[in-house]
A = this chain, B = another copy of it.
Amino acid sequence: MNAYTQLKKHNIKPSIQRIEIMNYLLTHRTHPSVDEVYTSLSKNMPTLSKTTVYNTLRLLSEQGAALMLTIDETRLCFDGDTSPHTHFFCKKCGRIFDLPLTESLAKQIGKIDEGHMITDVHYYYRGICKDCLTD
């Protein structure tokens, strides 16, 4: 799915900036922060404003075109992959890894609500990643 289609699908009016930001999320599965998106895109879009990146990423997550991750206590990260999966945060290097969602875990989604309306599900794991363990 390309960026333009993804925006249309979520009722977001496509602008150059929005397409570029959505495209960045779709092609970089690194769970980037606002700053990473901004720094990377501003190389080819010198007039891009960080405010626009903030606004757009928030809009994308509100409209369900991206996930806003709060697993890193120091900054918001974003994920263009909205399919169900879990996230692992390394407390040492700060990277976020994707982990698969087991079938039985997937089945739980939406089962526990107690009358609340659940719109977002996040499964977060923290610890030390494989790479940092061997250092």
Contact = CB atoms under 8 A, between A and B. Distances in A.
Total copies of the chain: 2
B102 A108 contact: yes
Interface residues of A, number: 39
A120 interface: yes
A107 to B, nearest CB: 7
A114 B99 contact: yes
Interface stretch (A9-17, A43-51, A121-129): A121-129
18 contacts: A70-B70, A70-B72, A73-B76, A91-B119, A100-B112, A114-B130, A115-B130, A116-B133, A117-B127, A117-B128, A117-B129, A117-B133, A119-B128, A120-B124, A120-B126, A120-B127, A121-B125, A122-B122
Interface of A: 68, 70-73, 76, 86, 88, 90-91, 97, 99-100, 102, 104-105, 107-108, 111-130, 133
